[in-house]
Structure 1
Amino acid sequence: MTHTIQHAIFIVDYNEAVLESRNTVLFNTIVSQNALLKEKGIKGIYISLKNAPSTQNASFGHLIKVLEKLSQALNIPTALGDYKKESFEHLKQMSADTAVQLFQNVNVAILFFNPSSFKKELCVLLFDTDKDNADKISSELTKLGYSVVHAYDAEDFKLKAMAKKYDMTITHTVVKKASSAPSIPNLSLSKQLIVNLPVFIDTAVNTLVTITGLEAQKIKHEIRPFNEKIPAQVIIAAMKFKGDVSGTFFLVFPRELAVAALEAMLGEHVNGDDTAAITDGVAEFCNIITGSAKTIFSTKQIKVLFELPKTYLSPNVALNASTGTNGVWIDMQLSNKPFYMFITK
């Protein structure tokens, strides 16, 4: 893989077979150049698939996840481009729930990432049979002050293309509105903490599997405020941490699941009405998870000090213990039943 910088866009030529191991190398290589990206004022990261042998193997789903993670780590939007037309719908589907954008070529990437590179009164011919997607693209282009002519089918596209000369033609492109991009400017978490979020997730999964014998897994995560659409009866343990990374870690258990998890850990009946015992149990879960996370952080030479956990029965009261609004909300499952984690400032 080689890279160049053009109009403040960091362009990577993914000129070999797409593999998960290479995706990881790509992530680490770009993150390691964070200082250069800041110095050059990079406005977007564009991964060109022009010379990639195929865009249909399973590793492309992993690549999209890596680009999402990269965007969150560096606070720079990311995009895939120069893909084969027949691969577009496949890539569109895989990237649907992410902020990763799809641009047919590097000029389209520059148009959206760094519009000042083009003249102000640009006339664009847009062809997309997906009306919702076309409307999104047209809306973004209009905001940039460009004139947009939309063709809804192949015949209409041919007629409009022949009728006049356009500054740019856009097809096979997916633009994500600003609201769907990572909300890093309002997140207030350090980039080092964002990069190390998998430590909290993996230790939660491994710890709960070990101490309860129940199956645990992460479902999804997103950047957002505390999700108040959770069961009414919850037990919350909150633990502040500081050092090389800092913030507040919330472990949120629906009461019924907390009882089941404690019974699995202790191997004995737990009184569902004994609130003190249940809150102590969730606090202990929090202690064990963060203790394991601290051990992993130490192997990475990251110094972290966790305070003692505090427990709450009300999300509103719990949130008063933090100074952040947005954070990383993580949907988890234990024995196929939901519980949650939230990490904020």
Structure 2
Amino acid sequence: MTNSIQHSILIFNYNEAVHENRNSVLYNTIIGQQAMLKDKGIKGVLVSLKDTPYSPLTKEDPNLANLVKQLEKLSHRIDLPVAIGDYKRDTFAYLKKFSANTSVKLFQNINTAILFFNPKAFKKELDVLIYDEDKENADKIAMELGKMGYSIVHARNVEDFKIKASAKKYDMTITHTAINQNSTKTQASQGLGLSKQLVMNLPVFIDTAVNSLVTITGLEAQKIKHEIRPFNEKIPPHVIIAAMKFKGDISGVFFLVFPRELALVALEAMLGESLEADDTASIVDGVAEFCNIITGSAKVTFSGKNLKVLFELPKTYLSVQVALSDTLGSNGVWIDMQLDEKPFYMFITK
């Protein structure tokens, strides 16, 4: 077996027939490299079956099942995610069965492994097309990628997949993949308190905010980063906040947080005229209108996805603490944004 490191992922090329003795050698070899894993900041381990002379005709190969067992043990021992990749499509069904109750992940190729293990290796936001005949598995994949802020397109069936794949060039297409999680990680994910549909559709809020603000102000807007956390109260003082509850196929609360000075700049850009800096009522109304425009665009996008979502009228705040109390300390997605190279924020929670 040979190994290499790509984008902080340790890749072992299993270039011999899978056998229980070789699985043990692989396990012990990686255990012996724990110091190196830490020194080099390794984010995950991928065992590639690209050059493995494995016959898919052997449906219940005990050696393949043993490999999954060894890698599950390895993942807990080194406290890093471990995956099998570069397998033949016929092999995927057997691997999926063997790994179903483990944390061993199945990645179609190295790029898929990088996408999940080290997403910062990619220099841009990605458009990802997903298809799996196992809808529950496809939903899990979409949910994980949605947390990372990627734009997800979910094909419903083989024909839909072919149509979508031919209609647009995607940065990445994911099939024959499984992101198995052990019970501990599953419980941690559930603790986020965010619905699957909400997480999967986070890019809708982000994209519509960027596009709407660019359109109505003529200023440059962009997303900087996002993270799962409660409302961030450590933001600049003198902010104006608008919040809208929404319900239906997706439910939650959308918060738009604008520093007062930036809100004034954005409103003047939208209206094409100057406003009095101390005209608090007009500035508050303006931020509420921004919130209306963003959520209105999001509603149109949701409708195109056959999702019915109703937004209530915006509620405005001049106090971070009052807005914070309305979130009840819940986890959500905090998003750092920029307009005209100046920061503003969004928060989406249940």
Q: Give, in angstroms, the shift of residue 206 of structure 1.
A: 0.1
Query: Residue 203 of structure 1 contacts residue 289 of structure 1 at CA under 8 Å; is this kept in 2?
Result: yes
- 1:255-276 Cα distance to aligned partner (Å, 9 max, x none): 0000000000000001111111
Query: Residue 101 of structure 2 contacts residue 182 of structure 2 at CA under 8 Å; is this kept in 1?
Result: no
Query: Residue 183 of structure 1 contacts residue 223 of structure 1 at CA under 8 Å; is this kept in 2?
Result: no
Q: Does 1:43 align with 2:43?
A: no
Query: Residue 231 of structure 2 contacts residue 327 of structure 2 at CA under 8 Å; is this kept in 1?
Result: no
Query: Residue 13 of structure 1 contacts residue 47 of structure 1 at CA under 8 Å; is this kept in 2?
Result: yes
1:189-208 superposed matches below 5 A: 189-208=194-213
Q: Name the residue aligned to 1:251.
A: 256
Q: Would the alpha carbon gap of residues 12 and 195 (structure 1) be closer, same or farther in structure 2, given more than 3 Å must change?
A: farther
Q: Distance in 2 between matches of 1:64 and 1:269?
A: 35
Q: Name the residue aligned to 1:156.
A: none
Q: Does 1:61 align with 2:122?
A: yes
- 1:33-87 Cα distance to aligned partner (Å, 9 max, x none): 9xx99x94453424375799x99xx9962799879x9778259x99xxxxxxxxx
Q: Does 1:294 align with 2:299?
A: yes
Q: Distance in 1 between matches of 2:101 and 2:221?
A: 41
Q: Distance in 1 between matches of 2:250 and 2:275?
A: 36
Of 5, 8, 13, 2:85 maps to 13
Q: Does 1:330 align with 2:339?
A: no
Q: Name the residue aligned to 2:308.
A: 303
Query: Residue 188 of structure 1 contacts residue 324 of structure 1 at CA under 8 Å; is this kept in 2?
Result: no
Query: Residue 102 of structure 2 contacts residue 182 of structure 2 at CA under 8 Å; is this kept in 1?
Result: no
Q: Does 1:73 align with 2:134?
A: no
Q: Distance in 1 between matches of 2:110 and 2:242?
A: 49
Q: Name the residue aligned to 2:268.
A: 263
Q: Distance in 2 between matches of 1:233 and 1:309?
A: 19
Q: Distance in 2 between matches of 1:307 and 1:259?
A: 24
1:130-149 superposed matches below 5 A: none
Query: Residue 12 of structure 1 contacts residue 46 of structure 1 at CA under 8 Å; is this kept in 2?
Result: yes
Give the TM-score normalised by the residue count of structure 2: 0.54
- Quick one: which amino acid aligns to residue 328 of structure 1? V
Q: How many residues align?
A: 227
Q: Name the residue aligned to 1:106.
A: none
- 1:180-228 Cα distance to aligned partner (Å, 9 max, x none): x996333211011101100000000000000000000000000111111
Give the TM-score normalised by the residue count of structure 1: 0.55
Q: Would the alpha carbon gap of residues 263 and 62 (structure 1) be closer, same or farther in structure 2, given more than 3 Å must change?
A: closer
Q: Would the alpha carbon gap of residues 263 and 50 (structure 1) be closer, same or farther in structure 2, given more than 3 Å must change?
A: closer
1:123-134 superposed matches below 5 A: none
- 1:129-184 Cα distance to aligned partner (Å, 9 max, x none): xxxxxxxxxxxxxxxxxxxxxxxxxxxxxxxxxxxxxxxxxxxxxxxxx9xx9963
Q: Distance in 1 between matches of 2:316 and 2:259?
A: 13
Q: Secondary structure at the match of 2:326?
A: coil
Q: Give, in angstroms, the shift of residue 323 of structure 1.
A: 4.4
Q: Distance in 2 between matches of 1:49 and 1:198?
A: 25
- Quick one: which amino acid aligns to residue 73 of structure 1? M
Q: Percent identity?
A: 58
Query: Residue 240 of structure 2 contacts residue 258 of structure 2 at CA under 8 Å; is this kept in 1?
Result: yes
